[in-house]
Structure 1
Amino acid sequence: MDNKDKDEVCVAPSKNEPTQVPVSHSKAIEFLANHSAEAISFTYEEEKAVVRRIDKRVLVLVLWAYFFQQLDKSSLSYVSIFGLSDDAHLVGLQYSWLGSILYLAQLVMQPLVALILVKLPAGKVLGSAVLLWGSALSIMAACTNFPSLLGMRFVLGSFEAFIAPCCVAITQMWWRRSEQTMRVSYWNAMNGVTSIIGSLVTYGLGHISSTTIYRYQTIFLFCGLLTVLYAFLIFWFMPDSPIEAKCLNERERIIATERLRANQMGISDHEWRWDHVLETFLDLKTWCWFFAIIAISIASGGIGTFGSLIVKSFGFNSFQTILFNIPFGVVQVISIIGAAWIATKTQRKGLVIAGLSVLPTIGAILMLTVPRSQKGVLLFGYYLVSCLAGITPMLYAWQAQNTAGDTKKKCTSGIVFVGMCTGNVIGPLLYSTDEAPLYRTGLIADLAMFVTVGVICGLTPFYLAYLNKKHEKKRIELGKSGRLPDMSMINKEKLWESKAVEVEDVQDQRAAVENDKGLLDVTDLKNEDFIYVY
């Protein structure tokens, strides 16, 4: 094999004429069918350049969209220490309900979100959602009592329901499975960046005193208007799919599309499939993700809403509490990206999640047992609890990488986000301002949830291994090779160190394009070439 052949990472059928499109085809295959095999072949360096362009455009837009969603959602926690309860005359569990209602709205919206994401372009859906929730937060600045705040928090949550499903759908659409874990961790890490920047912004805005509006109204208005402005950038710059991306030239669109074939996940066709819906609900691994995400969301929902109040209960004033939330954000960023990096290197997400759950477990025990006089130890425990932030994005990536079929991908994500919303509704309600400063009920519940998510994620890989064995047996029955290299999870820089993925093998696989389901709208359970990742 000469150097030229060695550079070719993805090779189309060897025929010079356009490939034959199967009867059941996708837009991606139609797009590629209009180009010859030579046009579809590309080198590693070409692919690397295209990925860089995608990262600079799509990833950056997703990062800041998620940042603004987290900033707007967390604004309630920031303003809680500036007298929101007194200014809005909140009593009992009313503040807790302001935290829970946002996720209750997201819970109600998830079925509609899944349908919309199948039917409409993800880029346009994301831009519209950002515009609408930014507007809702701006309007919330006019709310001065519990009923009006509750109503607008519900509206805010309804539009924010689109953000995580959009981000997951966009990640599945643009990156190979080996690249998805880090991309998911990047946009989730904006949660920690929000804690840092949001704390600094709140610290500054909190010093503004006015006789006409409360401090919390200033913060709501500032964050909301900034979000509205960002929405227009998404409308202008976000492409809807690799096939339609105007920011890429024709050659780059071909590479961006063809390289996703190895995912065996298909590309969006905007067609709703009821058989995919049924399979989603009958698939055991769907419920593994569901119960794991409920457990971690119960903990994160309570900590996210009451975190500032918990720190303040250690004996700090309002402005000290804001500053102590900055390290909280730093720990979140480190845990999210660090866990994703380890999972990418080891390709063992279940084990990494189970190991990561140990840190917040220790933190919760410290916060429950250490006397309030030991502020440093309590803060250390609080920062250990913040490591829980690394678990949710890992679950997002894990379910996304193990699901194929456009409708099934959206429905599985929808069920996962229903679990996330359910947990976040329950979480704040386990805390009450009446239990200050100990908040024992909430912390004990969080401790139990950390253990639960560790157990579930420690057992799930065994089921995925079983599914891989079933697919291997099916391939043998069909006369295919039982052992199949997972091209989507192989590190491209080490590609040529493996005999299993030499270019001749790739040519053999691509030569039978009519039997390849990589770009077809086929579910993972019905595609014997699909390989599950642990």
Structure 2
Amino acid sequence: MGARTGETAEIENAPTQQSRDGGGDDDGGGRDIAGSFLSKNAAGQRIVVTPAESARVLRRIDAVILPIMLTVYFLQGLDKATLAYSSVFGLLTDTKLVGDQYSWLGSIVYLAQLVMQPPLAWLLVRLPIAKFTSIMVLFWGISLACMAAAHNFGGLITTRFFLGVFEASVAPSFVAITQMWWRRREQTVRTSYWYAMNGITNMFGSLITYGLGHISSRLRSYQIIFMFFGVITVAFSFVMLAFMPDSPIEAKFLNDHDKIIAVERLRMNQMGVISREWRNDHFKETMLDPKSWFWFALLFSISIPSGGISTFGPLIVSTFGFDQFQTILFNIPFGFVQLVATVGGAFLAQKIKMKGPVIAGLCLPPIAGCVMLMVLPRDVSSRAPLLVGYYLISVYPGITPLIYSWASQNTAGDTKRKCTNAVLFIGQSVGNVIGPLLYTQTEAPGYSRGLRSNLALYVAIIVLSGLTTAYLRLLNAGHAKRRVAMGKSAIIVDTSLDSAKEVAAREEINAATAEATGGEEVERPGERAFENLTDLQNEEFVFVY
């Protein structure tokens, strides 16, 4: 295959034999399935991956896996947005919703997702992830279509609950799938791609809804909306079931040689791939790891504004003095700004190789937007600045995928990854339950309580980002001390976030240095990458900021 190119990180001294054998104080037990696959198919040898081979396999992965993820997340965004769209097409009056009943229709989906997260952590470890997720997509599509038959609060909240139950698996599954297929450098942007489908939803979902709202039928416009998106979701679940593989090892679109490359290129993630073995020690470590609760706090803090705006966004725009069709159309730029912020923020984080500062920076426009909506009067002369304030708020969705990838890139071990995802999405679900309840129709048009709370939470996210970064630096310092105690170098140059050019340049320097000094090339870590070790157990794991 070609000379070693730096798909792995560099370390000044070779790992000790104890480390190679999986011994020492932090023996994590058996290897995951990827480790067994490499032992069987690569004769126990560490395979060298050239940049050309890595790029070729990456293109195949992107061509097959990414479109499925993008479509499913687009449909999930549409399915959740149908409630907000339907609110301006007579849903509230026809179903006689009063008080905070509409708010509860927004919250119940996330309450259901909250209930589902603990069992999902176990299911996502034990079951084939693609097949399981496909079945969940099928049943959420059925639940959405059934909303067309609901004529009162009881019927709506029941169908919305089941919608939440079946949608609960999608984001945790997609975080796990992203960890399974892409290198750490690639994960941030890929996560932003599928999460950015929420922005596409707000753009094209608004246009589709605008068209559906003009259909003349015995059915009400919101019933047509529910049935249309529900049937499409059911149909695509079969596409996902047919074409999405459960892991790189089981991918029919890769031959045996490419499967080895797909797994080997993940070595320096130091996160493993998949084990399908539940580990109680991983679960315990997740609960005791302060990082887990930093991720929880961050996602909880952004999900409260997210839940409120996603449910009440069109109603807020309608208070600017627009009719129902104008309200839907003016929601399109919200989606465009969301798309730009999500993908742009990910590319910036990839470029500077840090997520904390980018997350803090993305909080500034929503802070300005909240202030504008709080102080500007609701009159015709203020329509333009009110819309500007609303669109500034729409930068906030760029924060969530960065938290997803930040957490996933700092967590290793199959069971710990799934448990950390559960903690993460419990925080998200609780925040999304609370968010719509801070906005009530009785506070229209100002919605002052919701906007004030959102403003405070954006400030809290800035503080939490700084604290999380500081803690990750502390963990890296601790791992360096452990390596020294084991007879290894304190310094690991992590290339898992480097571009191909950076990796190639580093390799040239290493080769030239080795030739000039007459020494051997620098030994690289990663011997324990597929031993199903957690990030705290593996002293070679490098935490990223």
> Hey, what does 2:407 align to over in structure 1?
399
Aligned partner of 2:459 in structure 1 is 451
| Shift in Å, 1:145 | 0.6
Counterparts in 2 of 1:126 and 1:255: CA distance versus 1, 3 Å: same
CA distance in 2, matches of 1:171, 1:9: 18
**What corresponds to 2:334 in structure 1?**
328
- What amino acid does structure 1 have at the position aligned with 2:3? D
Q: Hey, what's the Cα distance between the residues in 1 that align with 2:44 and 2:522?
A: 11
1:249 to 252, 255, 266: 255
Counterpart-to-counterpart distance in 2, 1:506 and 1:54: 31
Paired position in structure 2 for 1:134: 141
The answer as to whether partners of 1:468 and 1:531 remain within 8 angstroms in 2 is yes
| Residue 58 of structure 2 is aligned to residue 51 of structure 1 | yes
Aligned positions of 1:330-409 closer than 5 A: 330-373=336-379, 374-409=382-417
- Partner SS state of residue 489, structure 1: coil
CA contact (8 A) 2:137 2:237 kept: yes
Matched, 1:198 2:205: yes
- 2:535 aligned partner: 524
Indicate whether 1:441 and 2:449 are aligned. yes
The separation in 2 between residues aligned to 1:502 and 1:178, in whole angstroms, is 21
Alignment partner, residue 5 of structure 1: 3
Q: Tell me the percent identity.
A: 51
Q: Give the equivalent residue in structure 2 for 1:508.
A: 523
Aligned 8 A contact 1:85 1:95 in 2:
yes
In structure 1, what is the Cα distance between the partners aligned to 2:237 and 2:504? 43
Question: Residue 213 of structure 1: CA displacement?
Answer: 1.9
SS in 2 for 1:487: coil
CA contact (8 A) 1:132 1:159 kept: yes
Q: Aligned residues, how many?
A: 520
- Judge conservation of contact 2:274–2:414 (CA < 8 Å) in 1: yes
The residue aligned with 1:15 is: none
Paired residue for 2:190, among 165, 169, 183? 183
* Match of residue 34 from structure 2: 28
| 1:40 and 2:43 aligned | no
Q: Alpha carbons of 1:7 and 1:415: their partners in 2 closer, same or farther (altered >3 Å)?
A: closer
- Alignment RMSD: 2.0
Equivalent-residue separation in structure 2 for 1:441 and 1:305 (angstroms):
15
Cα pair 2:7 2:268 within 8 Å, conserved = no
Task: Give the CA deviation at 1:5.
Answer: 3.0
Match of residue 229 from structure 2 = 223
- 1:75 paired with 2:86, answer no
Match of 2:111 in 1: 104
1:414-429 counterparts in 2 under 5 A?
414-429=422-437
Superposed displacement of residue 492, structure 1: 1.9
Q: Secondary structure at the match of 1:498?
A: helix
User: Contact 1:87/1:144 (CA < 8 Å) preserved in 2?
Assistant: yes
- 2:320 maps to 314
Looking at both structures, which has the greater relative contact order when contacts are Cα pairs under 8 Å and sequence separation is at least 6? 2
Evaluate the alpha carbon distance shift between residue 184 and residue 140 of structure 1 in structure 2; reply closer, same or farther with a 3 A threshold.
same
Give the whole-Å Cα distance in 1 for the aligned partners of 2:55 and 2:509. Answer: 18
Kindly indicate whether residue 487 of structure 2 is the aligned counterpart of residue 479 of structure 1: yes
- Partner residue of 1:17? none
User: In the TM superposition, what whole-angstrom CA distance separates every residue of 1:323-368 from its partner, at most 9, and x where no partner exists?
Assistant: 1111000000000001111111111201110111011000000000
What letter is aligned with 2:166?
F
1:462 corresponds to which residue? 470
Report how far residue 36 of structure 1 moved: 4.0
Contact 1:119 1:271 in 2 (8 A): yes
Q: Secondary structure at the match of 1:57?
A: helix
Given residue 75 of structure 1, which amino acid in structure 2 is its aligned partner? Answer: T
Partners in 1 of 2:289 and 2:221 — Cα distance? 49
Q: Could you tell me whether the CA contact under 8 Å between 1:6 and 1:496 is conserved in 2? A: no
The answer for the alignment partner of 2:505 in structure 1 is 497
- Cα distance, 1:29 vs. partner? 1.6
Q: Deviations over 1:413-465 (max 9, x none)?
A: 10110000000000000111111111111111111111111111122101100
Q: Return the letter of the residue paired with 1:214.
A: R
Return the letter of the residue paired with 1:377: P
Whichever residue aligns with residue 71 of structure 2, its letter is W
Match for 2:169 among 162, 166, 189? Answer: 162
8 Å contact from structure 1 (residues 106, 421) kept in 2: yes
Q: CA deviation at 1:60?
A: 1.1
CA–CA separation in structure 1 for the residues paired with 2:47 and 2:257: 8
Aligned residue for 1:16? Answer: none
SS state at 1:529 partner: coil
**Are 2:421 and 1:413 aligned?**
yes
5+ residue gaps in structure 1?
12-19
Task: State the distance in 2 between where 1:271 and 1:418 align.
Answer: 22
Residue by residue over 1:446-499, the C-alpha shift from the partner in whole angstroms, topping out at 9 and shown as x without a partner, is: 111111111111221011000000001100110111101113222122212226
- Corresponding letter in the other structure for 2:342: I
Is the Cα–Cα contact under 8 Å of residues 2 and 48 in structure 2 kept in the other structure?
Answer: no
1:117-145 alpha-carbon deviations (Å, 9 max, x no partner): 00011111221111110011011111111
In structure 2, C-alpha distance between the alignment counterparts of 1:335 and 1:130, rounded to whole Å: 27
- TM-score computed with the length of structure 1 as normaliser: 0.94
Amino acid at match of 1:401: Q
Contact 2:439 2:447 in 1 (8 A): yes
Whether 1:95 aligns to 2:102 is yes
| Partner AA of 2:533 in structure 1 | V
- What is the distance in 1 between the residues matched to 2:454 and 2:32? 45
Determine the structure 1 residue equivalent to 2:517: none
C-alpha deviations, 1:86-115, integer Å up to 9, x for none?
011101101000000000000000001111
**Cα deviation per residue 1:121-177 (whole Å; 9 max; x = unaligned)?**
111122111111001101111111100000000000000000100100000000011
Letter aligned with residue 185 of structure 1? S
Report the CA distance between 1:507 and its aligned residue: 6.9
Distance 1:251 1:273, change over 3 A: same
Q: CA–CA distance in 2 between the matches of 1:44 and 1:334? A: 30
1:118 paired to 2:133: no
CA distance in 2, matches of 1:108, 1:506: 52
CA contact (8 A) 1:354 1:453 kept: yes
Cα separation, partners in 2 of 1:502 and 1:232, compared to 1, 3 Å: farther
Contact 1:267 1:520 in 2 (8 A): no
* 54-63 vs 486-495, greater mean Cα deviation: 486-495
Distance 2:378 2:273 in 1: 54
Instruction: Output one character per residue of 1:229-255: Cα deviation in whole Å (capped at 9) or x when no partner.
Output: 110110010011011111101111000
- Of the three residues 306, 309, 318, the one matched with 1:303 is 309
- Tell me the residue number matched to 1:172: 179
Aligned residues of 1:181 and 1:397 also touching (Cα < 8 A): yes
Q: Is the 8 A contact 1:10 1:506 kept in 2?
A: no
Cα distance between partner residues in 1 of 2:472 and 2:167: 32
The CA distance in 1 between the partners of 2:164 and 2:139, in whole Å, is 10
